[in-house]
């Protein structure tokens, strides 16, 4: 794996810290939990989209683009980080927000990431839930072209084989950190949504031959669809790295039971996970992604799964959206 072969620009704060979660491990009675702090990637609050954007921006700038075009849910962390990356390089940023949750709550619609998108200069437009978002991006790109500008279209979550290179690099970085401190990692746990994070990790680990299992906790799609999406993208990403054959289907594991009632809908398990992480480790998770993954991890730990293992939780970020869920969290903070 030789990532310098791919265009990339540098703005992420790397390497992100790898820290023990001793008090959380103790509270759950094991396994031995560590956290990879990708909430600290540094771009306007950070999060997992930043690593992907280094490679996506590398390509956009090489192509001479002057406008980034992307989409997400209303409280998208990806939209915020993309708007910040655009600002950083003097590009315009057109964002299509899907009203996926169908809520008119003022905090959700105006606060959190939405407020930050606007502050960062992102141009927002909204479309109803269920809109064909790829087609919507193409329409915006066409509009941008008609104005004589040059769009670079980034898929939802930055999840294609270019963006996923960021997580192949994260796999390499994590293994190097663990090796330097003599830490044997038995398993990596991550939230998995648009799939680039999960797929990039699996591809990177497979290509370097590290053979650490990755366990995804789904946030939206059912298990079969999620695993198929991750698998397809992991193969593409590994192929880009010259070794598509090294990703096998059984390497892809996603448990989507923690989704609960649906994307972006939090339940008591999520609230408890948010409180636990905050009050044992001072870590801020979010109710849509990292909090759902932590809900899954807490459940597994309590069932004695992975007992005796060393498990690394990839903190994908999301706390910048918390203010958008003020009313949702009210009544669940005690
Ligand atoms: C986007 C996001 C994820 C999911 O990552 P994917 O690469 O889309 O699967 C997880 N956590 C947070 C906070 C996110 O913003």
pLDDT in tens, 132-188: 999 999 999 999 999 999 999 999 999 999 999 999 999 999 999 999 999 999 999
Tell me what the mean pLDDT of segment 250-262 comes to: 93
pLDDT in tens, 298-311: 999 999 999 999 99
**Probe ligand 1: pick from 38, 47, 171, max atoms within 8 Å of CB?**
47
Ligand 1 atom closest to residue 219's alpha carbon, by position in its atom list:
4
Q: Please tell me if the CB atom of residue 47 comes closer than 6 angstroms to any atom of ligand 1.
A: yes
- Cα–Cα distance, 323 to 105 (Å, whole number): 12
- For residue 277, pLDDT beyond 90: yes
Q: Would you please indicate which residues are annotated as catalytic (active-site) residues? A: 76
Cβ–Cβ under 8 Å, residues 123 and 93: yes
Query: What is the 146 CA–ligand 1 centroid distance (Å)?
Result: 32
Q: What share of the chain is helix, strand, coil (3-state, %, to 5)?
A: 50, 15, 35
pLDDT in tens, 85-104: 999 999 999 999 999 998 99
The string of DSSP codes covering 59-74 is: HHHHTT--EEEEEEET
Ligand 1 atom closest to residue 163's alpha carbon, by position in its atom list:
7
* Closest C-alpha residue for ligand 1 atom 8: 194
Name the 3-class secondary structure at 19.
Answer: strand
- Cα–Cα distance, 268 to 329 (Å, whole number): 10
| pLDDT at residue 264, as a whole number | 87
Q: Please tell me if the CB atom of residue 286 comes closer than 6 angstroms to any atom of ligand 1.
A: yes
Query: What is the 250 CA–ligand 1 centroid distance (Å)?
Result: 22
Q: Please tell me if the CB atom of residue 218 comes closer than 6 angstroms to any atom of ligand 1.
A: no
Q: Please tell me if the CB atom of residue 197 comes closer than 6 angstroms to any atom of ligand 1.
A: yes
pTM of the model: 0.97
Closest CA to 291 of 75, 53, 92, 51: 75
Ligand 1 atom closest to residue 157's alpha carbon, by position in its atom list:
8
Name the 3-class secondary structure at 156.
Answer: helix
- For residue 258, pLDDT beyond 90: no
Give Cα separations from 296 to 224, 253, 291, 293 (angstroms): 17, 13, 9, 5
Phi first, then psi: give them for residue 332, nearest 5 degrees.
Answer: -120, 15
Cβ–Cβ under 8 Å, residues 291 and 267: no
Query: What is the 62 CA–ligand 1 centroid distance (Å)?
Result: 26
Query: What is the 240 CA–ligand 1 centroid distance (Å)?
Result: 22
Q: At what angle do helices 165-180 and 223-240 cross, to 10 degrees?
A: 80
Tell me what the mean pLDDT of segment 209-223 comes to: 96
Tell me what the mean pLDDT of segment 3-25 comes to: 98
């Amino acid at each position: 794996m030789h990532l310098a072969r791919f265009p990339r620009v540098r703005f992420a704060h790397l390497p992100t810290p790898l820290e023990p979660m001793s008090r959380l491990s103790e509270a759950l009675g094991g396994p031995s939990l560590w956290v990879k702090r990708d909430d600290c990637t540094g771009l306007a609050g950070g999060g997992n989209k930043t690593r992907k954007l280094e490679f996506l921006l590398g390509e956009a700038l090489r192509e001479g683009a002057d406008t980034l075009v992307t989409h997400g849910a209303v409280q998208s962390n990806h939209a915020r980080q993309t708007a910040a990356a655009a600002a950083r390089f003097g590009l315009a940023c057109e964002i299509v927000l899907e009203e996926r949750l169908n809520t008119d709550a003022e905090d959700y619609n105006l606060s959190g990431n939405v407020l930050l998108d606007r502050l960062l200069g992102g141009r927002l437009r909204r479309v109803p839930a269920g809109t064909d978002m790829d087609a919507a991006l193409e329409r915006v790109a066409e509009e941008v072209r008609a104005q004589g500008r040059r769009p670079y279209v980034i898929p939802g979550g930055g999840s294609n084989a270019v963006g996923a290179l960021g997580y192949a690099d994260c796999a390499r970085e994590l293994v190097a950190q663990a090796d330097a401190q003599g830490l044997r990692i038995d398993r990596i746990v991550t939230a998995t949504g648009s799939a680039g994070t999960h797929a990039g990790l699996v591809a990177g680990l497979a290509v370097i031959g590290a053979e650490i299992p990755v366990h995804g906790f789904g946030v939206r799609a059912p298990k079969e669809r999620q695993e198929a999406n991750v698998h397809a993208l992991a193969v593409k990403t590994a192929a880009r790295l010259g070794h598509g054959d090294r990703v096998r289907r059984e390497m892809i594991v996603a448990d989507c039971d923690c989704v609960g009632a649906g994307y972006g809908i939090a339940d008591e398990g999520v609230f408890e996970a948010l409180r636990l992480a905050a009050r044992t480790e001072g870590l801020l998770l979010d109710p849509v992604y990292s909090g759902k993954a932590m809900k899954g991890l807490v459940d597994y730990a309590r069932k004695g799964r992975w007992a005796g293992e060393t498990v690394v939780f990839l903190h994908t970020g999301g706390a910048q959206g918390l203010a958008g869920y003020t009313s949702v969290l009210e009544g669940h903070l005690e």
